Amino acid sequence: MSIALAGGIVLTILKVILVLLLVIILLLFLIAGLTLFVPFRYKVHAEKYDTIKAEGRVSWLLGIICVIFTYDDGASSYKLKIFGADYKKLTGIFKRRKKARKDNEYSLESAEYKEDSREESYGEKKEAEKKETEKTYSMETSKPCVQNSETGAGNAEAFRGSRTDEEKKDYRTSGSSSKARNGKEEKEGHNGKPHQKESTRESQKGTRKDSVADKIKDFRKSFKENFRKAGRIKDFIFSETTKGIVCVTRDNVLHLLKKIKPRKIKSDILFGTGDPCLTGQALGVIAVYMAMTGTFFNITPSFENQVLRGRLEVSGHIRIVTLLFIVLKILLSSEWKNFYKEAMKIKEEL
């Protein structure tokens, strides 16, 4: 019976552990699914009349997490809200509580430190009084000895003075003899013997010439090497592998723009550059973008004046899974593999 009961307890413990592991795995899958498939919704409202004003809002999971950006005539700010509460206010409350705790701990430590300092000062006063009494007692007992020591010090100073006078005389005589010797050597050098300074100057000139020549050679070598590296990089930029990866990224980015394009657009814009030709070219670029993405902007051109005035409101959503899909599609392509191998080869060569 006891063995069966122990086996049943072990089985129940294992069941509980397995259930907990399954719950944790399901929670992880749920969080991953929410982050990948639940879209991030964005909404932007901008207007320019007398001043420029803009407001952007990015929310996730039915507004549980929300980020709000505002811009008003040069002044910008942002807010992060979690379950409708401002993140800055929450952090401010926690910081105040932490500061209050630190202040209380500091006040307790300061009170303890004051008590310790009072005890230490009382002990130091007692030790100072003891030292003063010992000094006075030693001064009273050693007065005759001080007189003898003073006479001895005076004799020592006199003896030192006599020695210093003799040393000064010897130094003067030795200095005069050394000056005479130096004068003789200079005269002999000027009369017929070659001087050492001329030889040192010639050697310095030779070393300078050699150093200048070495510098020129090093500069030529470095210039040739840098020119070779620049040519190699240029060939890599204009190679077929680089063109292939550029085409792949272009196609995937256009696909991404179609996925993240705004769902709703409200606009009323008056636009003009002051130059009719440049205004027409800008409108052509905007028309190409609208044709590629399937969006529509209400733009009124002004071919005579330079003006930009109106309002724009855009809203849409984007999923993380679409971004991951496009990134993986680029990284798993053969064009990216060839580009990466070629880039590693150039890195080793350089």
**Mean pLDDT for each 10-residue chunk of the chain (350 residues)?**
76 92 94 88 91 92 89 88 82 77 71 59 63 64 44 44 48 47 47 52 65 82 86 88 91 85 87 89 86 80 89 90 90 91 85
For the sheet containing 65-72, what is the strand order?
Answer: 85-86, 75-82, 65-72, 52-60, 40-48, 306-318, 264-273, 299-301
**Residue type, position 150, single letter:** E
Residue 290 confidence (pLDDT): 81
Count other C-beta atoms under 10 Å from residue 84's C-beta: 8
Residue 246 confidence (pLDDT): 92
Q: Report CA-CA distances (Å) from 222 to 91, 103, 233.
A: 56, 63, 16
Q: Regarding beta strands 306-318 and 40-48, do their DSSP bridges make them parallel or antiparallel, or are they unpaired?
A: antiparallel
What is the Cα Rg of the chain in Å?
A: 45
DSSP designation for 62: T
Residue 204 confidence (pLDDT): 63
DSSP designation for 75: E
Q: Regarding beta strands 40-48 and 52-60, do their DSSP bridges make them parallel or antiparallel, or are they unpaired?
A: antiparallel
**Residue type, position 4, single letter:** A
Predicted structure pTM score: 0.54
Residue 178 confidence (pLDDT): 47
Beta strands, E only, the chain: 40-48, 52-60, 65-72, 75-82, 85-86, 264-273, 299-301, 306-318
Q: Report CA-CA distances (Å) from 270 to 48, 317, 321.
A: 10, 27, 37
Q: How far is Cα 298 from Cα 341, in angstroms, rounded to an integer?
A: 47
3-state secondary structure of 61: coil
Q: How far is Cα 53 from Cα 77, in angstroms, rounded to an integer?
A: 12
Q: How far is Cα 269 from Cα 313, in angstroms, rounded to an integer?
A: 11
Distance from chain centroid for Cα 215: 37
Please list, residue by residue across 14-32, b when 16 or more beta carbons sit within 10 angstroms of its beta carbon and e when fewer do: eeeeeeeeeeeeeeeeeee
Residue 197 confidence (pLDDT): 53
Distance from chain centroid for Cα 190: 66
For residue 37, give both structure tokens.
Answer: 């498939």
Residue 189 confidence (pLDDT): 46
Reported as type and span, the H/E element at residue 281 is helix 276-293
Q: How far is Cα 82 from Cα 66, in angstroms, rounded to an integer?
A: 7
Count other C-beta atoms under 10 Å from residue 282's C-beta: 16
For residue 149, give both structure tokens.
Answer: 């020591």
Q: Regarding beta strands 306-318 and 299-301, do their DSSP bridges make them parallel or antiparallel, or are they unpaired?
A: unpaired
Beta strands, E only, 10-91: 40-48, 52-60, 65-72, 75-82, 85-86
